[in-house]
Structure 1
Amino acid sequence: MTDLIVALQGTPEGRTAALWLALLAAFAHALFGALQKGQFDPWLMRGGIDSAYAVMALPVALFVVPWPEPAMWPVFAGAFLIHAGYKTLQAAAYARGAYTVVYPVVRGTGPLFTVLVAGLIFGEVFAPGQWLGLAVLLAGIFGLAGWNLRTDTARRDTMLPALGLAVLTGGFVAAYTTYDAWAIRLPPDPFTFLAWFFVIDGLLMPWLARRRLAALPRADLVPFVKKAVLGALIAYISFGAMMIATRIGNVGEAAVLRETSTVFAALIGWLVLGERSGPAQVALMALIATGAVMVKMAG
């Protein structure tokens, strides 16, 4: 697998594979978000998921993938800090504003910042048609946030700081996307980075949710563990597919295509969670999908 990834890097076939991996990451990311809605507190659920993927990744990191070079440990520390900032800001934004308003703003600002930063770090240049596609996609995402804001009357007094936090969170999305895309290119085997990332990244949220985990009723333990393990497997797919996409393809394109997760999330909400979308929301989601297609086709 490693040899195939290295062979695809920087090739037309690699860019095509990166497209499908980014879309897989988008779908998995939407599933991951839907999984956290339900019977368990989101902080509790995220603590359980992070615990599960750290424990499951540890034997792979120790015994399967090549051991990291000493220079990689500061890189892992940087990834931990950036992801910790992202998770903390996201939680603060969700505490102050509605999920349907905050989530699109986070996912909309993320790819915009990523494209700009990837141009500086990786020398990637978007064609005019790709910028137009990005504008269409962002119009759909921010339009969706505006529509949800207009129709949601709850917590209006805290919505402005929530939106500010959402923009900052989007900046951290761009930071971890570009940083991780750089970091995964450093070791000869990309799975070295992925395995150790999950071990190290899985330390924060279980500690923050330790009291909730300790207070979990015994009767809920088995369904909670099953859900946590499922979430860990989905996280592997979502993050792993995105990281491989950024190694073999264009970082900016992959970041934009991943944000079709807003469309997948709406479809999951409609088909699985029983949520309903009106004509305006459907039209805005169509804009998001159209923008993503334009970015890819114009590249």
Structure 2
Amino acid sequence: MLSWYSLTLIAAVFLGLYGIAKKHAVDENAVAPVLLANVSTAALIWSIPVAWEVLSGESDVGFGLCQLGAIEHLQLFLKSAMVGTSWMFAFVALKNLPISIATPIRATSPLWTILLAVSFANERPMVAQWVGMALIMVSFYAFSKVGRREGIHFRHNRAVWLMVAATLVSSFCGLYDKFLLQTVGIKPAVVQAWFSIYLVPVMIPMSLVWWFRDRQKTPFKWRWSIPMIAILLLIADYVYFVAVSDPEALISVISPLRRCSIVIPFLFGILALKEQNWRAKSVCIAILIVGAFLISVA
């Protein structure tokens, strides 16, 4: 049996591969149908245990996926709407930004999560967390300077602001996850299953807009990396949940270790895509990881 530490590292690897798959899937491709195909893959996978529980009537033996009331389903649909919005922003941004810049921006989520927690949950950060937030802001500012060398002006670049918006929505969704799992008491597998299924109707309207308005301008190209996005994310999340469920697991260690996943798409961008300014970006990423560690460990 693998330790929670080893499981966390495995989750980080799959999360990094998930970032690479996203970049490959949306590069010079239509974002809306890519997302629809991606979420349909995850929904199809989760539909199997849901159908088994419905047909067998043995929900107590399985994940308990069919024991929710109407209110819980509505709450999970709201989560799907937030995740769908975040993913749409992030995929469009990733399509138009170097992966070595887009992924680190996304990894600033600990900063936004703690700021939202201060604003809406009356949490009070410790000194180390304030230092961590300051380091992340320094890293973000440094990335803006590096981006200028590649013609990316953070203040005026639409893709940068879309990635920031995606990260903000994702951070708020993290607080909402805490509400669903702790206050409402929905099991992690149930949350993952139904929000994956509800993502399909969330993405259909966006795909219809693409079909009627943009399909001639931005055609859709099928790539095997599209279903791999869903598969890699499902594996990463499942391994992460198993790691966290270990009674000896330290979330203060798991969280920063998981953030190290950004190193994999960063190396992919430098080695495979030949992206520029890797030395300066490496320093920025190191500062960001230290900042995320300080926020998580306090």
Tell me, yes or no, whether TM beats 0.5. Answer: yes
Name the residue aligned to 1:13.
none
Q: Is 1:56 matched up with 2:55?
A: no
1:114 and 1:177 in contact (8 A); partners too: yes
1:177 and 1:255 in contact (8 A); partners too: no
Looking at structure 2, the residues matched to 37 and 201 of structure 1 have their Cα atoms a distance apart, in angstroms, of 20
Q: Work out the percentage of aligned pairs sharing the same amino acid.
A: 18
Q: Is 1:195 matched up with 2:181?
A: no
Following superposition, the deviation at residue 57 of structure 1 comes to: 0.9
TM-score (normalizing by structure 1): 0.70
Name the residue aligned to 2:177.
180
Letter in 1 for 2:128: G
Secondary structure of 1:167's aligned partner: helix
Following superposition, the deviation at residue 164 of structure 1 comes to: 3.6
Superposed counterparts of 1:278-297, under 5 Å: 278-296=278-296
Looking at structure 1, the residues matched to 99 and 272 of structure 2 have their Cα atoms a distance apart, in angstroms, of 18
Name the residue aligned to 1:78.
78
Name the residue aligned to 1:267.
267
Following superposition, the deviation at residue 61 of structure 1 comes to: 2.8
User: Mean Cα displacement is larger for which, 72-81 or 128-137?
Assistant: 128-137
Secondary structure of 1:36's aligned partner: helix
2:99 and 2:265 in contact (8 A); partners too: no
The one-character-per-residue Cα deviations of 1:214-272 (angstroms, maximum 9, x if unpaired) are: x868xx6xxx3x43343221111334456677888898987666544433321233455
Following superposition, the deviation at residue 114 of structure 1 comes to: 0.7
User: Mean Cα displacement is larger for which, 81-90 or 38-47?
Assistant: 38-47
Q: Is 1:235 matched up with 2:233?
A: yes
Looking at structure 1, the residues matched to 278 and 81 of structure 2 have their Cα atoms a distance apart, in angstroms, of 40
Aligned length: 271
User: Mean Cα displacement is larger for which, 96-105 or 177-186?
Assistant: 96-105
Looking at structure 2, the residues matched to 55 and 29 of structure 1 have their Cα atoms a distance apart, in angstroms, of 20
Where does structure 2 lack aligned partners over 5 or more consecutive residues?
A: 54-61
Looking at structure 2, the residues matched to 145 and 158 of structure 1 have their Cα atoms a distance apart, in angstroms, of 8
Looking at structure 1, the residues matched to 162 and 18 of structure 2 have their Cα atoms a distance apart, in angstroms, of 21
Letter in 1 for 2:192: L
Name the residue aligned to 2:128.
129
1:260 and 1:292 in contact (8 A); partners too: no
Following superposition, the deviation at residue 197 of structure 1 comes to: 1.7
Secondary structure of 1:69's aligned partner: coil
Letter in 2 for 1:55: L
Name the residue aligned to 2:163.
166
Secondary structure of 1:68's aligned partner: coil
RMSD: 3.9
Looking at structure 1, the residues matched to 258 and 287 of structure 2 have their Cα atoms a distance apart, in angstroms, of 15
The one-character-per-residue Cα deviations of 1:48-81 (angstroms, maximum 9, x if unpaired) are: 2211111111112342421232131121121022
Looking at structure 1, the residues matched to 81 and 128 of structure 2 have their Cα atoms a distance apart, in angstroms, of 35
Superposed counterparts of 1:72-111, under 5 Å: 72-91=72-91, 93=93, 100-108=100-108, 110-111=109-110
1:57 and 1:198 in contact (8 A); partners too: yes
